[in-house]
Structure 1
Amino acid sequence: MATRAVSLRTGDARDVATVDALMSAAFDPRFGEAWTRNQCLGVLAMPGVRLTIASVDEVPAGFAMVRSVADEAELLLLAVAPSYRRQGIGAALLRAVIAEAQGAGIADMHLEVRAGNAAVQLYEANGFSKVGERRGYYRGRGGEAFDAHTYLRNL
């Protein structure tokens, strides 16, 4: 498969339908990781929140949402549509939000990810280290609980 160029742009609340569609495609509902449209809108309205949209050939392929407070940032969500996975889009999004945080003087970036999520490889390859665990953090559609692992990267 030929590598296609990934373009990144800053998003905002007007992109919530795109974010919602990408979450629906990317997050399996049995794990309870996706946010609702209203949750996204509420967070996007907060100070220090930044949304980055990744597109390939002008088609939305993924997004990242980060919240910064003082000298810390948290990667709230990162999603890539299944048809675009393993093409460097998640890595491009992650590198972009890390670079932006570094440029803003952020000292540390945190994230949490469901235990067993393949995205752990991406985070570890980009300098994140596991620092904790939250038992039963995610609630799946059927009520089952899944652990979250917390990660940290010093910037």
Structure 2
Amino acid sequence: MDHHLLLIIHLLCAALWVGGHLLLVFAYLPQALKTKDQNIILNYEKKYEAIGMTALVLLVISGVLMAYKYNVSIEYWFHFDSPIEKVVSTKLLLLLLTVAFALSAQFRVLPKLKNDPNKLPEMTFHIVAVTLIGVLMLVFGTFIRFGGF
């Protein structure tokens, strides 16, 4: 697949993933915390999950394919030898951290949050962490344009 098309897919999916989380943090989360109503978060999560997860899967696929186009194949992941490898490996580490937060939220926090608004602070930590990670991944991705870091 053409690199430019991969980049467009990657950027559109990043807009959906990061934008959806920023919307959650700045529009829905404050309201949920103020009213102590976990259903605000749960309802947003229900609406956003399909598009957000699709965007995340396409981000991973397009990111891996672009890494290969930059000659950073799997055997070079986490070597941190070249500037591009550093960007790719850092983004992969952040992706693994995102997955850890997502699994924790999905299997540990969300089931409890459905019946207990006192779990909102823990869910807030997960939401803010995943949002910050997403923003960091977006920023680190821009360094590809300059040859890495």
Q: Which has the higher strand share?
A: 1
Q: Which has the higher helix share?
A: 2
Q: TM-score, normalised by structure 2?
A: 0.25
